Amino acid sequence: MNKGMGDKWDRIYQSATLKSEPAAVLAENLFLLPKTGRALDLASGLGANALLLAKQGLTTEGWDISAVAMSKLQQQADAHALPIKTFTKEITPHSFASACFDVIVVSRFLDRSICNAIMESLKPNGLLFYQTYTQQKVSELGPKNPRFLLAENELLQLFSLLKAVYYRENAGLGEVQHGLRNEAQFIGQKIEV
């Protein structure tokens, strides 16, 4: 595991003042979730997505490089008797097994090298909820390194093998002080062949 990266995120998650909210693409589309099944909150941080998925009845895993974040998430899950298991791991294409998740959520994390593995890890009819930062910004929110920023419509390209259920990328359209900015949202479904 990349110890330096794990240590960096451990220091960030040590902060008692950090608050974690579920990704809007998930919270605003809960009606699309299956009633039961397995879910993955990928690069979950403090696990707001994992907690929401588990509260919806899904057996959920949280994966993150930060042991501190995973410990905090597991404590919350245990305190509320939620079906969440946490795993501290560096996420690579080899982290995933084939066809094992009904739902995968990725929020504010971008590693293009794992996109195919994410799709392969979805069960037939499984759903991917993805929300992360874009290159087109109206404020300084989010990372500055272009490696971690999506080009225009890039989520549609990265996950073109999935049926697009929902896509949103407002960029600089209209009144830029309102609505979703600096991020793209995508929901895709793996269609049975």
| Window from 22-31, 39-48, 110-119, 174-183 with minimum mean pLDDT | 174-183
The confidence score (pLDDT) of residue 169 equals 87
Query: Which CATH number do you get for residue 111?
Result: 3.40.50.150
Average pLDDT for the chain:
89
Residue 166 has pLDDT above 70, yes or no: yes
The confidence score (pLDDT) of residue 145 equals 72
- Measuring CA to CA, how many Å separate 149 from each of 68, 105, 132, 190? 25, 17, 8, 24
Residue 178 has pLDDT above 80, yes or no: no
pLDDT in tens, 131-160: 998 877 656 666 667 787 778 899 999 999
Q: Would you place residue 10 in the very low, low, confident or very high pLDDT band (cuts 50, 70, 90)?
A: confident
Q: Using CB atoms within 10 Å of the CB of residue 175, give its burial: 0 to 12 exposed, 13 to 18 middle, 19+ buried.
A: exposed
Average pLDDT over residues 167-179: 65
Name the residue range of residue 117's domain.
3-11+20-31+40-189
3-state secondary structure the chain: CCHHHHHHHHHHHHCCCCCCCCCHHHHCCHHHCCCCCEEEEECCCCCHHHHHHHHCCCEEEEEECCHHHHHHHHHHHHHCCCCEEEEECCCCHHHCCCCCEEEEEEECCCCHHHHHHHHHHEEEEEEEEEEEEECCCCCCCCCCCHHHCECCCHHHHHCCCCEEEEEECCCCCCCCCCCCCCEEEEEEECCCC
> What does pTM read for this prediction?
0.90
Q: How many domains does the chain have?
A: 1
pLDDT in tens, 87-140: 999 999 999 999 999 999 999 999 999 999 999 999 999 999 999 988 776 566
- Measuring CA to CA, how many Å separate 41 from each of 18, 38, 54, 161, 179? 18, 10, 10, 21, 24
Which residue has better confidence, 190 or 150? 190
